[in-house]
Amino acid sequence: MAKSDLAKEGSLADLSGYFRSSFAMGAIGTAFGAGLGLKMLSGSTRDATNFGLGLFGDLSSAFAGIELVIQGEENLWKSRPAIFIFNHQSIADGFVIVKLVRKDLAGVGKKEIGKVPFLKQITSAAGLVLIDRSRSKDAITAMQPLVDAIKNENKSIVIAPEGTRSVDGTLLPFKKGAFHLAIQAGVPVVPIVLHNTAAIMPKGKFGTRPGKVKVEVLAPVDTSKWKSKTVQNHVDEVRALFLNALGS
Protein backbone atom coordinates (compact mmCIF):
# COMPACT_ATOMS: atom_id res chain seq x y z
CA MET A 1 0.00 0.00 0.00
CA ALA A 2 1.35 3.44 -0.94
CA LYS A 3 2.35 5.90 1.77
CA SER A 4 -0.39 8.28 0.66
CA ASP A 5 -2.98 5.52 1.04
CA LEU A 6 -1.65 4.64 4.50
CA ALA A 7 -1.77 8.28 5.55
CA LYS A 8 -5.33 8.60 4.25
CA GLU A 9 -6.39 5.43 6.07
CA GLY A 10 -4.77 6.72 9.27
CA SER A 11 -6.52 10.07 8.96
CA LEU A 12 -9.90 8.38 8.49
CA ALA A 13 -9.28 6.19 11.53
CA ASP A 14 -8.36 9.26 13.59
CA LEU A 15 -11.49 11.08 12.44
CA SER A 16 -13.66 8.06 13.23
CA GLY A 17 -12.07 7.78 16.68
CA TYR A 18 -12.70 11.47 17.30
CA PHE A 19 -16.40 11.08 16.52
CA ARG A 20 -16.65 7.94 18.68
CA SER A 21 -15.12 9.80 21.62
CA SER A 22 -17.34 12.82 21.09
CA PHE A 23 -20.49 10.70 21.07
CA ALA A 24 -19.29 8.63 24.05
CA MET A 25 -18.64 11.69 26.18
CA GLY A 26 -21.73 13.42 24.91
CA ALA A 27 -23.81 10.50 26.14
CA ILE A 28 -23.65 12.03 29.62
CA GLY A 29 -25.95 14.81 28.43
CA THR A 30 -28.42 12.36 26.92
CA ALA A 31 -28.40 10.22 30.05
CA PHE A 32 -28.78 13.24 32.32
CA GLY A 33 -31.72 14.50 30.27
CA ALA A 34 -33.39 11.09 30.32
CA GLY A 35 -32.90 10.81 34.07
CA LEU A 36 -34.34 14.29 34.57
CA GLY A 37 -37.37 13.33 32.54
CA LEU A 38 -37.89 10.22 34.64
CA LYS A 39 -37.63 12.27 37.83
CA MET A 40 -40.36 14.60 36.57
CA LEU A 41 -42.59 11.60 35.88
CA SER A 42 -41.86 9.49 38.97
CA GLY A 43 -40.66 12.03 41.51
CA SER A 44 -37.86 9.68 42.57
CA THR A 45 -34.38 11.21 42.44
CA ARG A 46 -32.73 7.85 43.15
CA ASP A 47 -34.57 6.00 40.38
CA ALA A 48 -33.81 8.83 37.97
CA THR A 49 -30.11 8.84 38.90
CA ASN A 50 -29.82 5.06 38.59
CA PHE A 51 -31.54 5.13 35.21
CA GLY A 52 -29.26 7.90 33.99
CA LEU A 53 -26.12 6.14 35.23
CA GLY A 54 -27.00 2.84 33.59
CA LEU A 55 -27.94 4.57 30.35
CA PHE A 56 -24.69 6.54 30.31
CA GLY A 57 -22.63 3.39 30.84
CA ASP A 58 -24.41 1.56 28.05
CA LEU A 59 -24.37 4.43 25.55
CA SER A 60 -20.81 5.60 26.18
CA SER A 61 -19.41 2.07 25.94
CA ALA A 62 -21.37 1.42 22.74
CA PHE A 63 -20.30 4.68 21.10
CA ALA A 64 -16.67 4.06 22.08
CA GLY A 65 -16.86 0.61 20.49
CA ILE A 66 -16.11 -1.25 23.72
CA GLU A 67 -16.98 -4.92 23.96
CA LEU A 68 -16.63 -6.26 27.50
CA VAL A 69 -15.32 -9.72 28.32
CA ILE A 70 -16.09 -10.14 32.02
CA GLN A 71 -14.87 -12.71 34.51
CA GLY A 72 -16.48 -12.80 37.95
CA GLU A 73 -19.47 -10.65 37.03
CA GLU A 74 -21.40 -12.14 39.94
CA ASN A 75 -18.98 -10.39 42.32
CA LEU A 76 -20.47 -7.05 41.30
CA TRP A 77 -23.65 -7.94 43.20
CA LYS A 78 -22.54 -10.19 46.07
CA SER A 79 -21.95 -7.47 48.65
CA ARG A 80 -23.57 -4.08 48.37
CA PRO A 81 -22.92 -1.43 49.39
CA ALA A 82 -19.19 -1.77 48.75
CA ILE A 83 -16.09 0.16 47.76
CA PHE A 84 -15.34 -0.71 44.13
CA ILE A 85 -11.71 0.00 43.24
CA PHE A 86 -10.14 -0.22 39.79
CA ASN A 87 -6.79 0.30 38.10
CA HIS A 88 -6.83 3.53 36.10
CA GLN A 89 -5.47 3.46 32.54
CA SER A 90 -7.77 5.60 30.43
CA ILE A 91 -10.73 7.97 30.27
CA ALA A 92 -12.55 4.94 28.87
CA ASP A 93 -12.33 3.39 32.35
CA GLY A 94 -15.24 5.58 33.36
CA PHE A 95 -17.46 4.21 30.60
CA VAL A 96 -16.66 0.64 31.64
CA ILE A 97 -17.00 1.12 35.39
CA VAL A 98 -20.38 2.86 35.20
CA LYS A 99 -21.65 0.17 32.82
CA LEU A 100 -20.55 -2.50 35.31
CA VAL A 101 -21.69 -1.00 38.63
CA ARG A 102 -24.76 0.70 37.11
CA LYS A 103 -26.80 1.73 40.16
CA ASP A 104 -26.76 3.14 43.69
CA LEU A 105 -23.39 4.69 43.00
CA ALA A 106 -21.28 7.59 44.23
CA GLY A 107 -17.69 8.43 43.49
CA VAL A 108 -14.71 10.76 43.81
CA GLY A 109 -13.45 13.20 41.22
CA LYS A 110 -10.97 16.05 40.80
CA LYS A 111 -12.13 19.46 42.03
CA GLU A 112 -11.42 20.90 38.56
CA ILE A 113 -14.58 19.18 37.27
CA GLY A 114 -16.62 21.57 39.41
CA LYS A 115 -15.37 24.49 37.34
CA VAL A 116 -17.29 23.25 34.29
CA PRO A 117 -20.90 24.49 34.76
CA PHE A 118 -22.73 21.68 32.94
CA LEU A 119 -20.59 18.92 34.43
CA LYS A 120 -20.89 20.44 37.89
CA GLN A 121 -24.64 19.91 37.94
CA ILE A 122 -24.43 16.41 36.49
CA THR A 123 -21.72 15.18 38.83
CA SER A 124 -23.53 16.65 41.82
CA ALA A 125 -26.73 14.84 40.84
CA ALA A 126 -24.74 11.61 40.42
CA GLY A 127 -23.27 11.88 43.94
CA LEU A 128 -19.69 12.66 42.88
CA VAL A 129 -17.55 14.22 45.62
CA LEU A 130 -14.90 16.56 44.24
CA ILE A 131 -11.63 16.74 46.15
CA ASP A 132 -8.32 18.58 45.95
CA ARG A 133 -5.81 15.78 45.50
CA SER A 134 -2.93 18.08 46.48
CA ARG A 135 -4.34 18.49 50.02
CA SER A 136 -4.60 15.02 51.53
CA LYS A 137 -5.96 16.13 54.92
CA ASP A 138 -8.76 18.10 53.27
CA ALA A 139 -9.43 15.15 50.97
CA ILE A 140 -10.07 12.86 53.95
CA THR A 141 -12.50 15.39 55.41
CA ALA A 142 -14.18 15.81 52.03
CA MET A 143 -14.88 12.07 51.91
CA GLN A 144 -17.26 12.22 54.89
CA PRO A 145 -20.27 12.65 52.55
CA LEU A 146 -19.28 9.31 50.99
CA VAL A 147 -19.34 7.60 54.39
CA ASP A 148 -22.80 9.10 54.92
CA ALA A 149 -23.94 7.93 51.48
CA ILE A 150 -22.86 4.37 52.28
CA LYS A 151 -24.34 4.22 55.77
CA ASN A 152 -27.51 6.24 55.22
CA GLU A 153 -28.34 5.60 51.57
CA ASN A 154 -26.78 2.16 50.91
CA LYS A 155 -24.76 3.59 48.04
CA SER A 156 -21.58 2.00 46.74
CA ILE A 157 -18.46 4.03 46.01
CA VAL A 158 -16.15 3.81 43.02
CA ILE A 159 -12.52 4.92 43.45
CA ALA A 160 -9.29 4.55 41.48
CA PRO A 161 -6.76 4.11 44.32
CA GLU A 162 -3.81 5.04 42.10
CA GLY A 163 -5.22 8.57 42.05
CA THR A 164 -4.28 9.18 38.42
CA ARG A 165 -3.99 7.35 35.13
CA SER A 166 -0.99 5.16 34.46
CA VAL A 167 0.85 6.23 31.32
CA ASP A 168 2.23 2.79 30.40
CA GLY A 169 -0.26 0.49 32.13
CA THR A 170 2.10 -0.24 35.03
CA LEU A 171 0.18 -0.36 38.29
CA LEU A 172 0.99 2.76 40.32
CA PRO A 173 1.19 2.85 44.14
CA PHE A 174 -2.21 2.88 45.85
CA LYS A 175 -3.33 5.78 48.00
CA LYS A 176 -5.01 4.96 51.30
CA GLY A 177 -8.26 6.93 50.93
CA ALA A 178 -10.42 4.08 49.63
CA PHE A 179 -9.17 1.79 52.40
CA HIS A 180 -9.82 4.29 55.19
CA LEU A 181 -13.27 4.78 53.68
CA ALA A 182 -13.94 1.02 53.81
CA ILE A 183 -12.90 0.94 57.46
CA GLN A 184 -15.05 3.93 58.40
CA ALA A 185 -18.11 2.64 56.55
CA GLY A 186 -17.63 -1.02 57.46
CA VAL A 187 -18.14 -2.34 53.92
CA PRO A 188 -16.11 -4.74 51.71
CA VAL A 189 -13.70 -3.73 48.97
CA VAL A 190 -14.38 -5.17 45.50
CA PRO A 191 -11.36 -5.07 43.13
CA ILE A 192 -12.15 -4.54 39.44
CA VAL A 193 -9.14 -5.29 37.24
CA LEU A 194 -9.17 -3.59 33.81
CA HIS A 195 -6.72 -5.10 31.36
CA ASN A 196 -6.58 -3.04 28.20
CA THR A 197 -8.65 0.13 28.33
CA ALA A 198 -5.53 2.11 27.41
CA ALA A 199 -5.69 0.47 23.99
CA ILE A 200 -9.21 1.87 23.57
CA MET A 201 -8.29 5.42 24.54
CA PRO A 202 -4.61 6.03 25.39
CA LYS A 203 -3.69 8.78 27.83
CA GLY A 204 -3.17 12.04 25.96
CA LYS A 205 -5.34 10.95 23.03
CA PHE A 206 -8.93 11.98 22.44
CA GLY A 207 -9.98 9.44 19.83
CA THR A 208 -11.12 5.95 20.74
CA ARG A 209 -10.29 2.67 19.03
CA PRO A 210 -13.01 0.01 19.16
CA GLY A 211 -12.04 -3.28 20.75
CA LYS A 212 -12.53 -5.83 23.52
CA VAL A 213 -11.82 -4.96 27.14
CA LYS A 214 -11.11 -7.80 29.53
CA VAL A 215 -12.47 -7.21 33.02
CA GLU A 216 -11.86 -9.33 36.11
CA VAL A 217 -14.15 -8.64 39.06
CA LEU A 218 -12.47 -10.26 42.04
CA ALA A 219 -14.27 -11.58 45.10
CA PRO A 220 -15.25 -8.98 47.73
CA VAL A 221 -12.53 -8.46 50.33
CA ASP A 222 -13.81 -8.55 53.92
CA THR A 223 -12.73 -5.44 55.83
CA SER A 224 -14.52 -6.11 59.13
CA LYS A 225 -11.24 -6.74 60.95
CA TRP A 226 -9.25 -3.95 59.32
CA LYS A 227 -7.78 -1.23 61.55
CA SER A 228 -6.57 2.24 60.65
CA LYS A 229 -3.17 1.58 62.24
CA THR A 230 -2.59 -1.38 59.90
CA VAL A 231 -4.13 0.20 56.79
CA GLN A 232 -0.88 0.04 54.80
CA ASN A 233 -0.86 -3.75 55.18
CA HIS A 234 -4.36 -3.90 53.71
CA VAL A 235 -3.38 -1.58 50.87
CA ASP A 236 -0.45 -3.86 50.04
CA GLU A 237 -2.61 -7.00 50.22
CA VAL A 238 -5.25 -5.67 47.86
CA ARG A 239 -2.70 -4.17 45.47
CA ALA A 240 -1.06 -7.62 45.31
CA LEU A 241 -4.39 -9.01 44.03
CA PHE A 242 -4.25 -6.52 41.15
CA LEU A 243 -0.60 -7.30 40.40
CA ASN A 244 -1.39 -11.03 40.30
CA ALA A 245 -4.38 -10.54 38.00
CA LEU A 246 -2.37 -8.26 35.71
CA GLY A 247 0.49 -10.75 35.61
CA SER A 248 2.94 -8.27 37.08
Query: For position 86, what pLDDT does the model report?
Result: 97
Maximum mean pLDDT: which of 41-45, 125-129, 175-179, 214-218 = 214-218
pLDDT, tens digit (0-9, with 9 covering 90-100), for 52-70: 999 999 999 999 999 999 9
Give me the sign of the Cα torsion angle 118, 202, 84, 175: negative
Alpha-carbon distances of 30 from 55, 65, 106, 210, rounded to whole Å: 9, 18, 19, 21
Measured CA to CA, the distance from residue 150 to residue 141 in angstroms comes to 15
> Each residue of 1-18: b (16+ CB within 10 Å) or e?
eeeeeeeeeeeeeeeebe
Residue ranges of domains in the chain: 66-246
* pLDDT band, very low/low/confident/very high, at 16 (cuts 50, 70, 90): confident
The predicted pLDDT at position 88 comes to 93
pLDDT over 50 at 112, yes or no: yes
Is the pLDDT at 222 greater than 70, yes or no? yes
So what CATH class is 66-246?
alpha beta
Q: What is the mean pLDDT of the chain?
A: 85
DSSP state of 201: S
Q: What is the pLDDT of residues 81-105, one digit of tens each?
A: 999 999 999 989 999 999 999 999 8
pLDDT (0 to 100) of residue 114: 60
- pLDDT category, 132, cuts 50, 70, 90? low
The answer to whether residues 155 and 104 touch, using CB atoms and an 8 Å cutoff, is yes
**pLDDT for 24:** 87
Residue-wise pLDDT tens digits, 159-218: 999 988 887 778 999 999 999 999 999 999 999 999 989 889 877 777 888 999 999 999
Strand pairing class (211-217; 189-194): antiparallel
